[in-house]
Amino acid sequence: MKKIVATMTVASALFASPIVSNAALGDQTLRTGMKNNDVKELQQVLKQKGYFKNGTTTTYFGSATKQAVVNFQKANRLATDGVVGPATWKALGSSGSASTSSKPSTSSTTTTSGASKLINTGKKYMGVKYVWGGTTPSGFDCSGFLDYVYKEALGVKLPRTVAEIYKVGVSVKTPSVGDLVFFETYKPGASHAGIYLGNGKFLHSSSSKGVGITEMSNSYWSQRYIGAKRINY
């Protein structure tokens, strides 16, 4: 009798409380009400990308986490259900076994393809003059150029200012082809950016020359470089 009571007590506790799991990040679908370490890591990733602005991260998937997930999904053209399944994990940059597909991951191929589209599209506008506040091929400022190229090449809408783009990008130690490189110019913080082409070169719209290619080692830009970020698409 005691064994039966004990078993029922344990079963009741399991059903009454959210499941706590130690699975690797991306290995399970996360949704409202869950409580585990994966939720905390999810919040940290969302916070790094500028979506989780609640301050303190916890292990509980509540309304603030769901809203952050929905905002991220909306920005990445995913189903805005607030559930972190395979597609959302992939967009976040984690590819655990939550995916039900048996096909090998093609994320690196997709990234390479996207980078090529980005660069080829950007190069079409080489020579376009610089215009403060410009957002079209009749004249670009640096962020206007990036937004236009991302939209045309990948269908991705970037924030309007370099400072805001810097906030949503994911930091990388060394830029890869297609990543964005940022510089501090006329004010503190990120105020200029371009698309990294590889071989120490980047494509951007500068106030002196308009859209063109510049060496990262250039004496002006090398002193003002503050880092590289990757935009997930």
Q: Is 142 designated active site? A: yes
Residue from 192, 210, 214, 232 carrying the catalytic annotation: 192
Taking 3-state DSSP, the helix, strand and coil percentages for the chain, each rounded to the nearest 5, stand at 40, 20, 45
> Is there a contact between 232 and 76 (Cβ–Cβ < 8 Å)?
yes
C-alpha pair distances (Å), 58 with each of 31, 35, 37, 39? 14, 9, 8, 7
Q: Is 225 designated active site? A: no
Residue from 30, 39, 68, 142 carrying the catalytic annotation: 142
Beta-bridge partner residues of 192: 183
Beta-bridge partner residues of 183: 192, 225
Residue from 128, 204, 228, 233 carrying the catalytic annotation: 204
Beta-bridge partner residues of 229: 171, 180
Q: Which residues are catalytic?
A: 142, 192, 204
